[in-house]
Amino acid sequence: MFDQNVHRVGFACKIQTSHDKADPKLNTKSTTISYLARQTQANAYGKLWDLLEHNMTTIQAQLVYLSKLPNNQRMFRLTSDVLPAYTHEDWMPFYFQADVVAYLEKHLSKIGEYARANDIRLSFHPGQYCVLASENPGVIENSITEFEYHADLIRYMGYGRTFQDFKCNVHVGGKLGPQGIVAALKRLSPEARNTLTIENAEFTWGIDASLELVEHCALVLDIHHHWIHSGEYIQPTDSRFKRVCDSWRGVRPVIHLSTSREDVIVDHDPSVRPDLAQLKAMGFTSAKLRAHSDYCWNQAVNNWALTFSTYADIMVEAKQKNLASKQLLEQNVQ
């Protein structure tokens, strides 16, 4: 378990060496279903083996990179692309061959041990196709498979043993809402139930919906989503945030931070927080304002976000990844 007394700022999925540049030695690779389908099975399996070896190597390298950062920067969201095509019915059998399972056990257990030994806080964020509260039963089935793929990785790494020793975050999604999440939870593995977090979204299920789940799972407050939803800069003293913290049952919570794109609200004063009503009156749509910035370019937003760090770790969701989260921290030092 990571050190709960460290106030972390983290980043997601990729490590950049400079603007728009991801070091291939530090990042995973993937393929497409379509490409695999065009190969002979032997060639496709060969491709999946190559990717498996590459991704185990680069994830280990990501952790080494993180271990060299100060403790308060050792928080990282692993990409969902670790095992390409794992949840596709044609390719799942690849991953259940004895030699592949042995390889995964060997390398992922080492990765988990390394993260724990080096005080690195890890998470996943299953993507847009994981909609546990869909009104479509088939989509729920696929979403459970998708979530359990992440749970398999979590188990291989030796997490999911205690409540929120690892975070696996999704949005409520779908039409069923929080009650759909409660129903899906009953069908998930123990590791999945221990790691599931639910995040408030911009347009549909916001904080109030999340809070219906406070007894069922940990809640992630996305402060940018809430701003898009309401125009409000919620404060850490807000009673709703206190309830979000309670949902973590003593584990240090995580919040998500992002900002509207700097090339959408061009020339916006970086020392002033964007005003939603004013921007909408100027013709900016919620959909445009929702998109994530490259960097933590707005110092006023940064300062507001950092007021949460007494209570929660901050996951920065910005296109330039570690370059953006570093910027947030360096501002804090000033």
Which residues neighbour 208 within 8 Å (Cβ) at sequence distance 6 or greater? 240
183 belongs to the binding site for DNA (CB under 7 A): no
- Show the site string, 117-156: x = touches DNA by CB under 7 A, - = not: --------xxxxx-x--xxx--x--x---x----------
Which stretch in 158-166, 168-176, 247-255, 295-303 sits in contact with DNA by CB under 7 A? Answer: 168-176
87 belongs to the binding site for DNA (CB under 7 A): yes
Compute, in degrees rounded to 10, the torsion defined by CA atoms 32, 85, 258, 236: 180
Task: Please identify which residue in 10, 112, 160, 173 interacts with DNA, judged by CB under 7 A.
Answer: 173
Task: Please identify which residue in 189, 204, 299, 332 interacts with DNA, judged by CB under 7 A.
Answer: 204
Which stretch in 68-76, 104-112, 166-174, 242-250 sits in contact with DNA by CB under 7 A? Answer: 166-174
43 belongs to the binding site for DNA (CB under 7 A): no
291 belongs to the binding site for DNA (CB under 7 A): yes
Report the site for DNA in 233-262 (rule: CB under 7 A). 258
The b-or-e profile of 61-76 (16+ CB within 10 A means b, else e) is: ebbeebeebebbbbbb
CB-wise, 71 or 224, nearer to DNA? Answer: 224
CB-wise, 153 or 318, nearer to DNA? Answer: 318
Structure tokens at 216: 């069922």
Size of the site for DNA (CB under 7 A): 52
For 44, the 3-state DSSP assignment is helix
Which stretch in 29-37, 65-73, 244-252, 296-304 sits in contact with DNA by CB under 7 A? Answer: 29-37
Please state, in angstroms and rounded to a whole number, the distance separating the CA atoms of residues 166 and 158.
10
Which stretch in 8-16, 157-165, 236-244, 267-275 sits in contact with DNA by CB under 7 A? Answer: 8-16
**For residue 262, how many other CB atoms are within 10 A of its CB?**
16
286 belongs to the binding site for DNA (CB under 7 A): yes
Q: Give me the residues paired with residue 222 across strands.
A: 256
DSSP per residue, 135-185: SSHHHHHHHHHHHHHHHHHHHHTT-SSSTTSSEEEEE--TTTTHHHHHHHH
Q: Write down the least CB distance from residue 5 to DNA, Å.
A: 27
40 belongs to the binding site for DNA (CB under 7 A): no
CB-wise, 108 or 133, nearer to DNA? Answer: 133
Q: Taking a C-beta distance cutoff of 8 angstroms, is the pair 221, 255 a contact?
A: yes
**For residue 98, how many other CB atoms are within 10 A of its CB?**
7
Query: Given 3-state DSSP classes, what are the helix, strand and coil percentages for the chain, each rounded to the nearest 5?
Result: 45, 10, 40
Please state, in angstroms and rounded to a whole number, the distance separating the CA atoms of residues 162 and 154.
12
Q: Write down the least CB distance from residue 250 to DNA, Å.
A: 26
Q: Which residues bind DNA (CB under 7 A)?
A: 12-14, 22, 28-35, 38, 47, 77, 79-81, 84-88, 125-129, 131, 134-136, 139, 142, 146, 171, 173-175, 203-204, 258, 285-288, 290-292, 317-319
